[in-house]
Amino acid sequence: MKHNTMLTIASLLTILFLIFHMTDDFLREGGLAVRGINNLVVTFPDPPWMLFAPGVWITLILAVAAAIVLRNTVFGRRVFAIGSSEATARACGINTTRIKIAVFALAGGFFGLAGVMQMSRLRQGDPTVAAGAELDIIAAVVIGGGSLSGGQGTILGSIVGALIMAFLRNGCQQMGWPNFVQEIIIGGIIVIAVAIDQLRIRRS
């Protein structure tokens, strides 16, 4: 797990600056307008009967699908098994390498879709716009019942945790607090969430 984490962070930095360099050249050459992307997260969807932006419906559909896969399929059970103890899962005959590759591939697809939605919201592509959001994401998962040790968590819990983090961020901005105060508050919440997660692990 530690090697996977370090590899993920190293890949993040490498690909981030590679994309930044590639898109900078791309923008200087005039770029490319992609129709439909700008309408993914509009405030007022077209047609109006959709009620919510297309991006919201895409997120809900993918969340339901992911929840079903994790709860009701062999693949989902194996993912939780590897998260709990990779060595034990391997001893039970699970092809851990294949499952991990599949999980990382799916995660990469979801990250790419999130980037497209972010580009739709900002009306421009910037690979550094979500820099530092990793801790917020970890905190959201832990607040939603996920465990840093793996093997626990639900899609619904993660969504609730993300909504709580978004509420805190927006609340701090509405109060007009400086950025450093916001970071202190978010950092404190992350520390509390991790502490609760560790207490939960020790009790179990």
Domain ranges, residue 162: 134-204
Q: How many domains does the chain have?
A: 2
pLDDT for position 79 = 92
Query: Is 158 a residue whose pLDDT tops 80?
Result: yes
pLDDT band at 147 (very low <50, low <70, confident <90, very high): confident
The H or E element containing residue 166 is helix 155-174
Q: What is the pLDDT of residues 80-130, one digit of tens each?
A: 999 888 889 999 999 999 999 999 899 888 888 888 888 777 776 666 677
In this structure, the answer to whether residues 117 and 145 fall within a common structural domain is no
Helix axis angle, 54-72 relative to 74-84, nearest 10°?
80
What's the rounded Cα separation, in Å, for the pair 176 and 188?
19
pLDDT for position 29 = 44
Query: Is 30 a residue whose pLDDT tops 50?
Result: no
Q: What is the pLDDT of residues 42-71, one digit of tens each?
A: 767 777 777 888 888 888 999 999 999 999
Q: Provide the CB-side half-sphere exposure for 196 (13 A, CA).
A: 13
Neighbours of 54 (CB within 10 A): 17
pLDDT for position 171 = 85
Q: Quick one: tokens of 65?
A: 């699908």
In this structure, the answer to whether residues 89 and 149 fall within a common structural domain is no
Instruction: For residue 46, tell me if it sits in a domain.
Output: no
Q: Quick one: tokens of 66?
A: 């992911």
pLDDT for position 24 = 57
Stated pTM of the model: 0.72
